[in-house]
Amino acid sequence: MGIDTIAHHHDYFWERHKYQSNAVLDLLDTAFPAKLPSIQHISINTIAQRRLNARRGIDSVVIPNVHDFATPPPAIDQYSQDLRKVLGLTKDDLFILQPTRVIQRKGIEMALSLVHRLDMPNKHLFITHRAHDEGLEYWHWLKREAGVMKVDLCLIDHLIGTERTTANSHKIYTLWDAYPHADLVTYPSTYEGFGNALLEAVYFNRLTVVNRYPVYNADIEPLGFEFIELDGFVNDKAVEKTKELLNNPEQVQAMTEKNYALAQAHFSLEVLEKKLTEVLANFN
């Protein structure tokens, strides 16, 4: 119909192994996404931008995930102050947060391995989101591994919702209620389109462990962020650095403040506004 259109692509079908074998590959390769003069394409990272051009001859603008870094993060308030107690934690327990769904590409086995190797008492790993999106086999395997490693692993998706409410006589918290309580955030994904949860951890000034997934290597790490990094497995250096930082709140504060400033410069709503203004101007 020739209507001016912005197509903002978070994932292309060829980026996921399970979608690469199908009965309509010729159709996908010639029409998805559509190459039309009325469409301006936006990719979520530079890797996707290059591959879109190579596969389909389509130019695109990169606009990554963004967040409202101009607004300070909410603190623990009267509603959320009892979350640790609800989870069975004391103020001295180590609250480790895995703020993702339970799917294989989240690499949660690396979080398990790290927690197992931390020579620290009263450590607990909590996963916030559902386990059934890609079947329950991975979750069952994680539970078995956690048992072998003697790691206290708990799925709390029944307590975390999109808004604060009450269900089945217990309070429902939001993910943003959980972040301020966390001593450590684990984000050991093997693949991400960009990394919303990583930006959220930065927003809440949390010490964060990240696996160096491809988009992190290409678009995030070069900007100078400071995280505890993994390279597909948990090595001695990552374990020692995690223990050192958990015992050094001043150093963690300096790291997280630096990360916040970098995110505000590169992944803020103001950056989104600037990039979208440029895209819209191209329609004129």
Q: Which two tokens stand for residue 157?
A: 């998706």
Neighbours of 136 (CB within 10 A): 12
Residue 173 is predicted with a pLDDT of: 97
Output the CATH code of domain 83-265: 3.40.50.2000
**What is the residue-averaged pLDDT of the chain?**
95
Question: What is the per-residue pLDDT across 38-57, written as a single tens digit (0 to 9) for each?
Answer: 999 999 999 999 999 999 99
Residue 220 is predicted with a pLDDT of: 98
Residue 5 is predicted with a pLDDT of: 96
- What is the C-alpha to C-alpha distance for residues 257 and 277, in angstroms, rounded to an integer? 29
Question: What is the per-residue pLDDT across 66-118, written as a single tens digit (0 to 9) for each?
Answer: 999 999 999 999 999 999 999 999 999 999 999 999 999 999 999 999 999 99
The parts of the chain modelled with pLDDT lower than 50 are none
Residue 129 is predicted with a pLDDT of: 95
The ranges assigned to domains in the chain are: 5-62, 83-265
- C-alpha dihedral, 205 to 126 to 90 to 85, nearest 10°: 100
Residue 284 is predicted with a pLDDT of: 75
Residue 254 is predicted with a pLDDT of: 98
